[in-house]
A and B are shown apart, each in its own frame.
Chain A
Amino acid sequence: MSRGRIWALVLRYTYVYRRSVLRILEIFFWPAVDLLVWGFLTLYLEQRERELPSGVTFLVGAVIFWDVIYRSQQGITISFLEDVWSRNLLNLFSAPVRVSEFVGATCVVGILKTVVVGLYLALLAFFLYRFNLLAVGPSLLPLFVNLLLMGWALGIATTALLLRWGQAAEALAWAVPLAIQPFAAVFYPVSALPSWLHPLAWAIPATHVFEGMRLALRGGSAWSHLLLATLLNFVYLALAGLLFSFLFSEARRKGLLVKIGTQ
């Protein structure tokens, strides 16, 4: 892998944001809307339900943490779609770019988006709701890294599916993370789900992260959840990598790479 080529691609994807105020607004607007809706809902619940003293912490923290997955996944899929939309795939893959370099660059874009939006949401939550993200404690960083890894796995898998089905399936870029959200115990514990859904929920790394976050905010230890989340993430990253590699080869065999690139 060439770091120079990865850096070139990272710059290419960030150029888009340097030139477009609308793109930058889009990055900051939707997370802020989510935070406002869930934050105010929780304030309302607190006023009505005195037995939910840490409700704000749970829900506001959940919004910020969920956005880490979403931005990390979007960093990969939207970067790929940028090249599809601009019909640049042919130029890109006729240059000496390895698939691993392309994926590596989009993962870096995912990190950049996640860090920027995460900090922004953390500050917004502090000023609006007096929510301190650092209250999660020392497990904050590993929880964050696990969400980032899950976002990468989702992003790589989604991009592989886009390679297979092309621009017609671009809605997957937004739909895949949202389809997982109801089962990932983001805003409620796993116990709130029907028991037959529990195995599915526990197979999602994010479930362990959100359960761990709730434990940590109540003063408990999140480390056992973190360990499971990390193991699951490595399994899913490996599977997503294999899927991408297989579907990229198939796209070259079937001429789909060219077709997507010139549609």
Chain B
Amino acid sequence: MGEFVISVEELRKEFLRDRPVVNGLSFSLRRGEALGLLGPNGAGKTTVIHLLLGLTTPTSGKITIFGLPMPEKRVEVLERLNFASAYALLPSNLTVRQNLMTFARLYGVARPREKIERLLSELEIGPRIDQVTGQLSAGEAARLSLCKALLNEPEILLLDEPTAGLDPDIADKVRQLLRRLRAERGIAMIYTSHNMRDVEEVCDRVLFLRKGRLLVEGSPEEVVRSFRCEDLEKLFIQLARERKQDLPGAISEEHE
């Protein structure tokens, strides 16, 4: 694995005083690595993504991306990464082409028309280029969101539940695409999902969060093995329900 592209140290975020959503979280991401952020609702996964994007500012702690401090160097960092989420749709009243042209210009993409046509074709939604975005199916909208996320050839992709609401066929196509992108372009990814199959197929390493704290870290196989579970889904349920002191493989934290 290559050098670190993201480094997070003792990250803490409180929206209400003394009620941290992210609490002393430290992790790093290497070039080309796919990291899964797992955890039940309210674990802080999406907040971590928003903190990495500079959409939210940390209460304390340090985020460094490409060696640059975030959110201070937000624009320089965001030029080199991208983001897709099932919850951040592109404007439904614009056509696919208009949406992608807007973002291509925002990211300063060279030869945007050719780039857009090629990406849409790769994602099998080429014929939809002049259709209004609101008329796309959920699967097509998810692929459009990925298309937007790939416009600037990012070195890091932040994916917040990219397969949420997709049927198994489309979800599988999205996973295949992500694996291919990693293999061909060495893109590093941070991936949040409630679909453990996604995580097992796409991620090299997972961080399991609960109440904003890191509970377990390792490769999907390692963490499943260390907790003597059948698969990641069973482990997810176990980790989400059990008390931390009852979990033999959990990371100890002195300030808890």
Interface flags for A206-246 (1: CB within 8 Å of B; 0: not) read 00000000000000000000000000000000000000000
Residues of B within 8 A of A82 (CB): 91
Interface centre among B53, B56, B89 (most CB of A within 10 A): B56
Any B CB within 8 A of the CB of A12: yes
Any B CB within 8 A of the CB of A88: yes
- How many chain A residues touch B (Cβ–Cβ < 8 Å)? 34
Any A CB within 8 A of the CB of B57: yes
Residues of B within 8 A of A98 (CB): 75
Once the chains are docked, how many angstroms separate the CA of A7 from the CA of B101? 11
Any B CB within 8 A of the CB of A50: no
Chain A residue nearest to B77 in the complex (CB):
A96
Residues of A within 8 A of B105 (CB): 4-5, 7-8, 11
Chain A residue nearest to B104 in the complex (CB):
A8
Interface flags for B88-130 (1: CB within 8 Å of A; 0: not) read 1111111100100111011110000000000000000000000
Least distance between A9 CB and chain B CB atoms (Å): 7
- How many chain B residues touch A (Cβ–Cβ < 8 Å)? 36
Chain B residue nearest to A249 in the complex (CB):
B57
Interface flags for A88-120 (1: CB within 8 Å of B; 0: not) read 101101111110000000000000000000000
Residues of B within 8 A of A19 (CB): 93-95, 98, 132
Which of B33-41, B79-87, B163-171, B233-241 faces chain A? B79-87
Any A CB within 8 A of the CB of B15: yes
Chain A residue nearest to B88 in the complex (CB):
A90
Any B CB within 8 A of the CB of A143: no
Once the chains are docked, how many angstroms separate the CA of A95 from the CA of B103? 8
B55 touches A88 (CB 8 A): no
Once the chains are docked, how many angstroms separate the CA of A16 from the CA of B78? 26
Pick the contact of B55: A9, A16, A93 (CB < 8 A): A93
Any A CB within 8 A of the CB of B212: no
Of the A-B pairs whose beta carbons lie under 8 Å apart in the complex, a sample of 25, sorted by A's number, is A2-B108, A5-B105, A7-B105, A8-B101, A8-B103, A8-B105, A8-B106, A11-B102, A11-B105, A15-B98, A15-B102, A16-B91, A16-B94, A19-B93, A82-B91, A86-B90, A91-B88, A91-B90, A94-B55, A94-B78, A95-B106, A96-B106, A97-B106, A252-B54, A252-B71
Residues of B within 8 A of A (CB): 15, 47, 50, 53-57, 71, 74-76, 78-79, 82-83, 85, 87-95, 98, 101-103, 105-108, 132, 148
